[in-house]
Every structure is written in structure tokens, then in C-alpha cells.
A = this chain, B = another copy of it.
Amino acid sequence: MEKAVVVLSGGLDSAVALAFANNAGYQVSALHVNYGQRTELKELNSFNLICGHFGVFERLVADIGYLKAIGGSSLTDGNIPIEKGGVDPSRIPSTYVPFRNTHLLSIAVSWAEVKGASKIFIGAVEEDSSGYPDCRKGYFEKFNELLAVALVQKKVTVETPLIDLNKGDIVKLGIKLGVPFELTWSCYGESEEACGVCDSCRLRLNGFKAAGVADPIRYAH
């Protein structure tokens, strides 16, 4: 059984990516990264519940709190407000965390290399996203080129099964793969219920609407 590491924030997209790897027959290990984001407790709870649902026992929770110290993002700096006016494709939102995905993938790669996993799955989405540069297909292509020259065992690659899907299709794929959406957390806020108005909530709600199904989580708005 081939091994794979799945980067699992606990949000909708990463849960679908995990279900995808699981369904493709990989022996899945799950990586969660705490980078000082506002929603860490919510995310970590979802991470563990989703792992439990899919029977993923090998889990790594890595703490890179220095990203919070570095700052520069509304996700890690409580003084920068999170946009709630809707996704604006013409600019990078304040929720962008500088170079974040390279940190997540680097941890996944080190773990994969030591445990002999050949694949890393990440639920990055280029369509219907907030426009982060490190969620684009060209970024992952370059990262895989880097892997080809950087490793000793030279056979780890990053897979992005959702990269070309829109949110409606991701929800549909999740339903087909039995993703427990009620366990996922996507909101950028830290309240008990999802806010319903941040970019992440808006994208998620649009996805359920497009798929023609109800989102099972509760919203404040």
C-alpha cells in the first residue's frame, strides 16, 4: 500500500483532498499546521474529528508560531481586520499569509521523505479562491520541480486534486466520497458559529448553493 501525506487544515477543501487520497487507495497520514491563525482551536478540532472519521491514526500537528511573529496577515495579526465585503479578484486579500503554503509543504515533504511516502495531497484551489499566489497551478508545478532536485530519495510529488474544480464541484465530489461536512471548519473568524460573510464562508456557501445541497454547519449570519 503506497503511503501519502495529506495536508489537512480541517476546512472543506482539505477534507475532500483527504477523502480523495483515501479513496485512491493510499495509506494516509495527516498533517496539521498551527501557524498562529485566529481559528486554530476550531481547525485542530476539525482536523482530529475528520481523521477519526476516516480512520487516519498517524497524525502530525506541527507548530510554526514564528509565522504569527512575522505577521503581515489578518489571519495571524489581530490588529488587521479580515475583509467581509466579498471576494475581489483584482487584489490579494489581507488574509494572505506570506509564503504559507511553502511552509506547509516543506513539513509534509520532510515527513514524507522520512516515512517513505511518495505523495503529498493538498486541497489547494485556483478557481473560486481568494487569489493567493501559492494556490495557483504554476506554483505547485515549480514546487514539484524543486522536489526533483532537492531530495535524496527523489520520488515525492505534490498532488492537487482540487486545483481546477470550482466550489460546487468540490462539494459534489465531497458528497460522492462521503466527506462529513458537518465536521469541517472554513470560517476565518473565531466565533462559535461560522460568520457567513468572510471570503472563506462566502466561497463555501456559494459552493453548496451551486451543488444544490444545504451546508450542514450553522452560521451566525
Docked-complex contact B99 and A106, CB < 8 angstroms: yes
Docked-complex contact A92 and B152, CB < 8 angstroms: yes
> In the complex, which residue of chain B has the Cβ closest to the Cβ of A72?
B114
A85 in contact (CB, < 8 A)? no
In the assembly, what is the distance between CA of A62 and CA of B67, in Å?
9
A96 in contact (CB, < 8 A)? yes
Which residues from chain B contact A64 at a C-beta distance below 8 Å?
A: 62, 64, 66
> In the complex, which residue of chain B has the Cβ closest to the Cβ of A137?
B149
Which residues from chain B contact A148 at a C-beta distance below 8 Å?
A: 142
A116 CB to nearest chain B CB (Å): 10
Docked-complex contact B99 and A102, CB < 8 angstroms: no
Docked-complex contact B102 and A98, CB < 8 angstroms: no
The interface size of chain A toward B, counting residues with CB under 8 Å, comes to: 41
- Contacting residue for A70 out of B66, B101, B110, CB 8 A: B110
In the assembly, what is the distance between CA of A110 and CA of B113, in Å?
24
Docked-complex contact A71 and B114, CB < 8 angstroms: yes
Copies in the complex: 2
Which residues in window 143-162 of A have CB below 8 A to B?
A: 143, 145-146, 148-152
Which residues from chain B contact A110 at a C-beta distance below 8 Å?
A: 67, 70, 72, 97-100, 103
- Contacting residue for A98 out of B63, B103, B152, CB 8 A: B152
Subset of 6 A-B contacts with CB under 8 Å: A60-B70, A99-B109, A101-B150, A103-B107, A139-B146, A139-B149
Given A98-B152, A102-B109, 18 more contacts at CB 8 Å? A63-B66, A71-B114, A72-B110, A97-B110, A98-B109, A98-B113, A99-B110, A101-B150, A102-B146, A103-B103, A106-B106, A133-B149, A133-B152, A134-B150, A142-B145, A142-B148, A142-B149, A146-B146
- Report which A residues bind B (CB closer than 8 A): 60, 62-67, 69-72, 92, 96-103, 106-107, 109-111, 113-114, 133-134, 136, 138-139, 142-143, 145-146, 148-152
